[in-house]
Structure 1
Amino acid sequence: MNIPDIRTRWFRGVSAPGARIRLLCFPHAGGAAVAFHDWAALAPPDIEVVAVQYPGRQDRLYDPCASTMEELADTITTALRHELTGDMPLALFGHSMGSSVAYEVARRLEDDPGRTLTHLVVSGRHRPRLPQEEAPGPAPTDTEVMDRVRLLDPDGADVYDHPDLRPMILPALRADFGLLARYRPAHLHRLGVPVTVCGGDRDPMCTVEDLKSWSDVTTQGLDLRVFEGGHFYLQQRKEELLAFVASQLA
């Protein structure tokens, strides 16, 4: 039986006939839906995995990148209503920048009578900072962006040094880091769904205490799981992570 791909402007995945829940995945800064390309094959058959394709990268290279978190979350939420139809319950997973995007989309979905949001899973990032905790800052320079990338992903940063690839992939990374520098919500919205938070025990920019800070955004309790690895622990611990996420969604 041929199972059709889910391929819309904003979403990529594989249809899972008979699935009871859809897991919508949000990539890291500079990342794309391809970061989750093999999750569907590793997930249980009752979970349909769909990834968000942000503008400004890969087959959306010429679509303008979002300039604010609000713009990005609003547009994704609208796309959900028009491109992913049906009433299948929805859980969200975000890694790094994707954690903040997933949180903002979750806030909007709680007010959507046509969607049943069941769970938020975040990874590799602290909860959103308020303006009084950390003032918005200027967009980092390209040098500062690359310093952070090499700190977070020393094995994958070499691709940005390729003279043919750099002009195509650096703009999205630059835009995403600028978006994060400006992102400071006026207040924290406490979600009425459980939140699960994951991270690597050697992440140089997200400590276990940072992970615990997500307890401030839920009224339904927080589960924490720390895996062996750095910021991109999920690349090496993919099967272990997916098994844990599936248990959280059971």
Structure 2
Amino acid sequence: MGKSIKLFCIPYSGGSAEVYRKWSKSLYSDIQLFPVELPGRGKRIFEPLKDHIDTIVEDIAATIASNVAPNDDYAIYGHSLASLLTFETYYKLIDNGVHTPQHIFFSGRNAPQNMHNKTSIHRLPDEQFLHAVMSYGGNTHEIAEN
């Protein structure tokens, strides 16, 4: 067994740190799991939600910085929207003088430079927007009519 590493996991949009807690059963014992709870979610439900990426990133960076000593190895993982938060948090940590993580993991999102899947569905008139959303599947007509 090697040196221990801290793994900070940032939840996806609307998710709580709780989604990562079950990972601890599957990780090697030298990986310390640190699910990051965002304001307004889970154990921080009574704190106001942050609605700007800069303030969310500042919060995440502060959480990581307060749990990482200068000689600690650490990694950051983000899924979906949290991939973007992870990316921005990396730079915020560096700006704040925190040493770089050993690893950064991104999942569930295209790379920032990959714009070929960019859509404008959100700009469609309501009826066309609803039709586009329904074409993805997973919704019922009762939901669409509500």
Determine which of 45, 62, 68 is the counterpart of 2:52: 68
1:101 — aligned with what?
85
How far does the alpha carbon of each residue in 1:23-53 deviate from its partner, in whole angstroms, 9 at most, with x for none? 1111111101011011112111121111111
SS of residue paired to 2:102: strand
Q: Indicate if the aligned counterparts of 2:8 and 2:64 stay in contact, CA closer than 8 A.
A: no
The amino acid of 1:118's aligned partner reads: Q
Change (3 A) 1:67 1:126: same
Change (3 A) 1:56 1:74: same
Determine which of 52, 55, 59 is the counterpart of 2:39: 55
2:25 — aligned with what?
41
SS of residue paired to 1:101: helix
The amino acid of 1:128's aligned partner reads: P
Instruction: Give the count of matched residue pairs.
Output: 127
Q: Indicate if the aligned counterparts of 2:9 and 2:35 stay in contact, CA closer than 8 A.
A: yes
Instruction: Name the CA distance, whole Å, in 2 between partners of 1:128 and 1:47.
Output: 28
Higher radius of gyration, 1 or 2:
2
Indicate the RMSD between aligned Cα atoms, in angstroms. 3.4
Determine which of 93, 110, 114 is the counterpart of 1:126: 110
Which 5+ residue runs of structure 1 have no aligned equivalent? 1-17, 139-143, 162-250
Kindly report which structure 2 residues correspond to 1:1-250, keeping only aligned pairs within 5 A, or say none: 20-82=4-66, 84-86=67-69, 87-128=71-112
TM-score normalised by structure 2 residue count: 0.70
Q: What displacement does 1:129 show?
A: 6.2
User: How many percent identity over aligned positions?
Assistant: 26
Which 5+ residue runs of structure 2 have no aligned equivalent? 123-128
TM-score normalised by structure 1 residue count: 0.43
Change (3 A) 1:81 1:48: same
Change (3 A) 1:56 1:99: same
Q: Indicate if the aligned counterparts of 1:33 and 1:51 stay in contact, CA closer than 8 A.
A: yes
Instruction: Name the CA distance, whole Å, in 2 between partners of 1:129 and 1:67.
Output: 24
Q: What displacement does 1:127 show?
A: 2.4
How far does the alpha carbon of each residue in 1:151-205 deviate from its partner, in whole angstroms, 9 at most, with x for none? 69x5xx9xxx9xxxxxxxxxxxxxxxxxxxxxxxxxxxxxxxxxxxxxxxxxxxx
Q: Indicate if the aligned counterparts of 1:89 and 1:115 stay in contact, CA closer than 8 A.
A: no
Q: Indicate if the aligned counterparts of 1:110 and 1:117 stay in contact, CA closer than 8 A.
A: no
